[in-house]
Structure 1
Amino acid sequence: MSATLKNDTFLRACLRQPTDYTPLWLMRQAGRYLPEYKASRAKAGSFMGLATSPAMATEVTLQPLDRYPLDAAILFSDILTVPDAMGLGLSFAQGEGPRFAKQVRDEAAVSELAVPDMHKLQYVFDAVSSIRKALDGRVPLIGFSGSPWTLACYMVEGAGSDDYRHVKSLMYSRPDLMHKILAINADAVAAYLNAQIDAGAQAVMVFDSWGGVLADGAFQEFSLAYSRRVLAQLKTEHEGQRIPSILFTKGGGLWLDEIADAGSDVVGLDWTVNLAKARAQIGGRVALQGNLDPNVLFAPPERVQAEAIKVLDSFGNPRNADGSWAGHIFNLGHGISQFTPPEHVSALVEAVHSHSRRQRAGA
């Protein structure tokens, strides 16, 4: 039997239930900006050494929570575990991003793809169970995956990309092949997230990090349709507990209405979106997550606090006019930079918690 949750503020906000303050967590909160993470990574020998060891993944997942009073933990892993399990050969060179040994760029490569045996990803599910146990009910644990489109970008490009030339060439010249890749990815991501839920994840997030590089029309056909396919297959309950889902599309501000209708409980926003307008537009349908520019954290702590307050004030009164709760989870508009001074994060967390309590006192 798992421990009773001592702080469920994040889960309540996801489901637009009353909260005493605005909960906060940070994308990439366990990572390279923390000296303790760097020490763990050195001990593990590599990024994948960390990610594939449940004990090490647990250690680094808990590091930011030991330093800051954050309201959720997120599984320490990588978005590319699923294509790696498909046999594409993932590696991380020191100082470089991820790279695949095999690219998926033609009919023969696409014909070899299949939803992977989830046993190949057992190290991820073991990490989820281990983290959940180590948290001992302190805060909820978020599981995650890359979106079908974002995974496909890496699979076709073979690595990160500046121009998305290979993946867009395939999409425009052979949309049939692109749809095959995306359908397999969607079913793999859904199975992967459901297995994380079975292992103990209390919420799940789909990162459509590269959705915003698509043209209008192509976004709906090649990205959103497949995020929908994932969300439609997700377990929404486990062991009597509701499991919220979050969909985050970087650069998705143009399509907020359609994203809000995709089936998630929460829509993540990047920093280019006006939070007040987003709330007026889609806040009645979903909770919102975001959306401080991560580079704000390079400013002096008093400026960090002022900018955090601006975000909270933009969202406004946590209650709607009819007295219902709107649901806001404070986060950055994308992942925290590895060069962020850790003490600036302390200033951010303190500002969000204290100002959002003041907002409720005055509401």
Structure 2
Amino acid sequence: MQYTNKNFPALKNDRLLRAARGDEVDKVPVWVMRQAGRYLPEFQAVRAKHDFFTVCRTPELACEVTLQPLRRYEHLDASIIFSDILVIPQALGMTVEMHPGLGPVFPEPLKDPKEINNLQEDGAVSRLTYVGDAITLTRHKIEGKVPLIGFTGAPFTLMGYMIEGGGSKTMSKTKEWLEKYPKDIHKLLSLLTRVIIDYLVMQAESGAQLLQVFESSADHLTREQFMEFSAPYLKEIRSGVTQKLNNNKLEQVPMTVFAKGGGHSLDIQATLGYETIGLDWTVDPIEARKIIGANITLQGNLDPQDLYKSPEEIRTLTKQMVQNFGKHRYIANLGHGITPQTPLESMTAFTEAVHEAL
């Protein structure tokens, strides 16, 4: 690893970690999914010079983009490393391209279960060390201002991209595989789970202080399918990371699971071992707390589209949201990633309102 110095500056703002662990906080912590990204003109300036995955693979560029929102928004209580969930399929030998207006595209998706055998599991995480390098560099550059979050896509979500060949509103090919090839599906999910565990351990070792697992396609699963094709692997990831950090004598880091569209399975998610459960905007905070209980932190869940409203409306909606969740075991966020055309002043209104709410 190029960036090896792990003597990081002391953390000055630990609200996020305190909330994740259930400790008291002076203010509700706030960060935003995709806060390092397309809505920022400074990010667009970087992208004008560099391909998307070049930014991901270049630690200095990934670090710079990660720090951009912290310079603009003083109320953010966390940073999230700039990367992409699809670096894992790339590390397994699949080609992923980022096409303007389309998003990620796999020129050669998985068309037959036999092609699972072509995936290059051995050495996959060693091909992702640039993410670890970016995390280590960022931990130094951030100078302890706020914690740094690492992340991964969940097995089912990654598998969907690998089969569909990109994002899909129907996931029809994946659903066909679920019916036709359940044994092969579980083989692929198990492979992805093994790689994800090692990937997250590497991120923690590199300096990530919280880890989030994005099950972004949970809305395509019924409750029964979530129990079969998602939950067991999410649970294995959590326990696997804990075990490997223990074996390596590394400090444990809190973990968040975010299953977008998984409101039908909150009780199942509460059994997976994660300190924090992320909620999308369709879930009622008060009902979610009843289902999940008092001993797990909740994260979310303002509708990203609400950031197109006036700053005054955003402040009102945000304060109401925070009051519904309460101050204990809560991390304020959006119910999904911030969208590209979001006005810059909307983020200011949102983050300020969180800290003012309680």
Q: TM class, shorter-chain normalised?
A: over 0.9
Q: Which residue of 1 aligns with 2:3?
A: none
Q: Contact 1:298/1:341 (CA < 8 Å) preserved in 2?
A: yes
Q: Which residue of 1 aligns with 2:193?
A: 186
- CA change 1:60–1:141 in 2 (3 A) is same
Q: Which residue of 1 aligns with 2:157?
A: 150
1:59-90 C-alpha deviation (Å, 9 max, x unpaired): 11000000112000001000000111101111
**Aligned equivalent of 2:351, options 341, 349, 352:** 349
Q: Which residue of 1 aligns with 2:97?
A: 91
> Structure 2: which 5+ runs fail to align?
1-6
Q: Which residue of 1 aligns with 2:168?
A: 161
Q: Which residue of 2 aligns with 1:66?
A: 71
Q: Contact 1:85/1:116 (CA < 8 Å) preserved in 2?
A: no
**Aligned equivalent of 1:303, options 313, 322, 345:** 313
Q: Contact 1:113/1:184 (CA < 8 Å) preserved in 2?
A: no
- For residues 114 and 257 of structure 1, the distance between their equivalents in structure 2, rounded to whole angstroms, comes to 35
Give the aligned residue type for 2:112.
D
Quote how far apart the aligned CAs of 1:125 are.
1.0
1:106-145 maps to which residues of 2 (within 5 A)? Answer: 106-117=112-123, 118-145=125-152
- For residues 42 and 226 of structure 1, the distance between their equivalents in structure 2, rounded to whole angstroms, comes to 38
- For residues 281 and 56 of structure 1, the distance between their equivalents in structure 2, rounded to whole angstroms, comes to 41
Q: Contact 1:141/1:202 (CA < 8 Å) preserved in 2?
A: yes
Q: Which residue of 2 aligns with 1:359?
A: none
Quote how far apart the aligned CAs of 1:310 are.
1.1
| TM-score normalised to structure 2 length | 0.94
| TM-score normalised to structure 1 length | 0.93
- Greater mean deviation of Cα atoms: 28-37 or 223-232: 223-232
1:177-214 C-alpha deviation (Å, 9 max, x unpaired): 10001000111111101100011100100000001211
Q: Which residue of 2 aligns with 1:314?
A: 324
1:248 correspondence with 2:258: yes
Give the aligned residue type for 1:68.
Y
- CA change 1:343–1:116 in 2 (3 A) is farther
Q: Which residue of 2 aligns with 1:230?
A: 237
Q: Which residue of 2 aligns with 1:323?
A: none
Q: Contact 1:61/1:76 (CA < 8 Å) preserved in 2?
A: yes
Quote how far apart the aligned CAs of 1:354 are.
1.3
1:202 correspondence with 2:209: yes
**SS, match of residue 92 in structure 2:** helix
Quote how far apart the aligned CAs of 1:239 are.
7.4
Q: Contact 1:249/1:268 (CA < 8 Å) preserved in 2?
A: yes
- For residues 239 and 35 of structure 1, the distance between their equivalents in structure 2, rounded to whole angstroms, comes to 42
Q: Which residue of 1 aligns with 2:272?
A: 262
Q: Which residue of 2 aligns with 1:333?
A: 335
1:287-302 maps to which residues of 2 (within 5 A)? Answer: 287-302=297-312
**SS, match of residue 331 in structure 1:** strand
1:47 correspondence with 2:52: yes
Q: Contact 1:114/1:184 (CA < 8 Å) preserved in 2?
A: no
Q: Which residue of 2 aligns with 1:75?
A: 81
**SS, match of residue 132 in structure 1:** helix
Quote how far apart the aligned CAs of 1:136 are.
1.2
The ranges of structure 1 where at least 4 consecutive aligned residues each deviate by more than 4 angstroms after the TM superposition are 236-241
- For residues 238 and 193 of structure 2, the distance between their equivalents in structure 1, rounded to whole angstroms, comes to 9
State, as a whole percentage, how many aligned pairs show the same letter: 41
**SS, match of residue 290 in structure 1:** strand
Q: Which residue of 2 aligns with 1:360?
A: none
**SS, match of residue 227 in structure 1:** helix
- CA change 1:283–1:65 in 2 (3 A) is farther
Quote how far apart the aligned CAs of 1:328 are.
0.2
Q: Over aligned residue pairs, what C-alpha RMSD do you find?
A: 1.4
